[in-house]
Homo-oligomer: A and B are copies of this chain.
Amino acid sequence: MKLYSFWRSLASFRVRIALNLKGVAYELITVDVDRQQHREGAYAAVNPQMALPSLVLDDGTVLTQSLAILDYLDEACPGPALLPADPKGRARVRALAAMIACDAHPLTTPRVQRYLTEVLHLDDTARAAWLRYWAAEMLGAVEARLAGDGATGRFAHGDAPTTADICLAGHALFARNQGLDLGGAPTVQRVVEAAMALPAFAATHPLAQPDTPESLRRAPTSS
């Protein structure tokens, strides 16, 4: 498989984690979003939506949208399950994942930031406030879902990592990058720490990628 990815793309991070949890080998192809490579013809030919990530299967099938790719990997690949077995548990995990992947992350992607800057002429302060607002809103909403719910375990759902933890790991990183303190969301903080301690999460951390700028790059760690 080939994964079109960018080190700091949080949707790419999700798929990298899942591939690593499943133990699936893949070739990583960098699409440099900072240099607008996702909007160039070569990548647009892979994914006309010009969004990351895309996963190209060995038969050439192109899969897009991180949540759809995660479900595909869970259905098609052996290895630890990314979703619990019972439908209600699956619905809980999928709802947690969708809170982040539908209701929070899309508001902060490059195409939205471009609109804020180029059309609405927001300055850096107003743009940063936008990012922080949505990061904080979802941190609070997920904490409210996880805290005091018996279904929450060592991870977001029980004691094995799921799609919810995969999405949460990226959101926690994003929130920290916006200057938020996870201490106000202690259950999220605990769950994310447990997830990031796993090799599949640590190895795929945005700061530990081959395409991470050298000034930021570090060895895989758990934080």
Contacts and interface: CB of A to CB of B under 8 A. Distances in A.
A48 B145 contact: yes
Interface stretch (A62-70, A169-177, A195-203): A62-70
B49 A145 contact: yes
Given A90-B75, A120-B120, A102 B106 contact: yes
A28 interface: no
Contacts of A145: 48-49
Contacts of A67: 67, 94, 98, 102
A71 B92 CA distance: 11
29 contacts: A48-B141, A49-B103, A49-B145, A63-B92, A64-B95, A65-B102, A67-B67, A67-B98, A67-B102, A68-B91, A68-B92, A68-B94, A68-B95, A68-B98, A69-B91, A69-B95, A75-B87, A75-B90, A76-B87, A98-B102, A102-B105, A102-B106, A106-B106, A106-B107, A107-B112, A111-B137, A119-B133, A120-B122, A120-B126
Interface string A78-116: 000000000110111011011101110111010110010
Number of copies: 2
Contacts of A208: none
Interface string A127-167: 00110010001000100110000000000000000000000
A61 interface: yes
Interface in A21-48: 48
A118 to B, nearest CB: 11
A96 B214 CA distance: 36
Given A63-B88, A65-B99, 19 more contacts: A48-B145, A49-B103, A49-B145, A57-B88, A63-B95, A64-B95, A65-B98, A67-B102, A68-B92, A68-B94, A68-B97, A69-B91, A72-B88, A72-B91, A76-B88, A107-B107, A115-B133, A120-B122, A120-B126
A91 B119 CA distance: 34
A18 interface: no
Nearest to A144: B48
A17 interface: no
